[in-house]
């Protein structure tokens, strides 16, 4: 099972539609849960990260196998990402992806993550980023199942 905990809410209709489409496609391969956390509108970044961390933790269970998405994480190809997902799901039966706010996440979240992955050196708005992650998860299952996927 795959869980995504994302700081920030999807607002744009086209992104909600994109998420709906990927959720539908992914239902063939895995159970998927998406939790949204309201990002903190606090000029004190440290204080905002602490508040967001507390809200993230509420969605975590002790057995959760956490992969953090972060600008400074390890960069991998789609093929590598796919085998990583396959391994994690085989040995730990679940993955919880955490997407932080534009300020990242609190150090404590970094510490409890088993892996930290970076999709790009470029900063994306969390809304679009969530769709990019869903796309790579979907692509991973296509690769794992040897199904063609080019578009």
Is residue 5 near a second copy by the rule CB under 8 A?
A: no
Could you tell me which of 72, 70, 82, 68 has the C-alpha nearest to residue 29?
82
Site for a second copy in 17-46 (CB under 8 A): 17-18, 21
Could you tell me which of 65, 62, 53, 36 has the C-alpha nearest to residue 104?
53
Calpha distance 46→51 (Å, rounded): 9
Nearer to a second copy, 45 or 57 (CB): 45
Helices and strands, counts by H and E, the chain:
5, 5
Q: Which of 75, 87, 92, 107 binds a second copy (CB under 8 A)?
A: 75
Q: Which of 50, 84, 112, 132 binds a second copy (CB under 8 A)?
A: 132
Site for a second copy in 87-106 (CB under 8 A): 102
Could you tell me which of 85, 68, 70 has the C-alpha nearest to residue 119?
70
Q: How far is the CB of 47 from a second copy (least distance, A)?
A: 16
Site for a second copy in 54-73 (CB under 8 A): none
- Residue 97 β-bridge partners: 4, 67
Question: Could you list the residues that contact a second copy (CB under 8 A)?
Answer: 8, 12-15, 17-18, 21, 75-78, 81, 102, 119-128, 131-132, 135-136, 139, 150-151
């Amino acid at each position: 099972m795959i869980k995504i905990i994302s700081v920030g809410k999807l607002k744009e209709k086209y992104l909600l539609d994109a998420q709906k489409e990927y959720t539908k496609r992914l239902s063939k391969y895995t159970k998927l849960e998406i939790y949204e956390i309201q990002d903190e509108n606090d000029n004190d970044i440290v204080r905002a990260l602490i508040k967001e961390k507390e809200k993230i933790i509420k969605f975590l269970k002790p057995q959760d196998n956490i992969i953090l998405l972060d600008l400074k994480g390890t960069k991998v190809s789609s093929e590598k990402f796919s085998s990583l997902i396959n391994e994690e799901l085989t040995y730990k039966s679940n993955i919880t992806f955490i997407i932080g706010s534009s300020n990242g996440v609190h150090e404590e979240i970094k510490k409890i993550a088993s892996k930290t992955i970076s999709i790009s050196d470029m900063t994306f708005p969390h809304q679009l980023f969530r769709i990019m992650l869903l796309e790579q998860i979907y692509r991973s299952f296509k690769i794992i199942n040897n199904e063609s996927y080019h578009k």
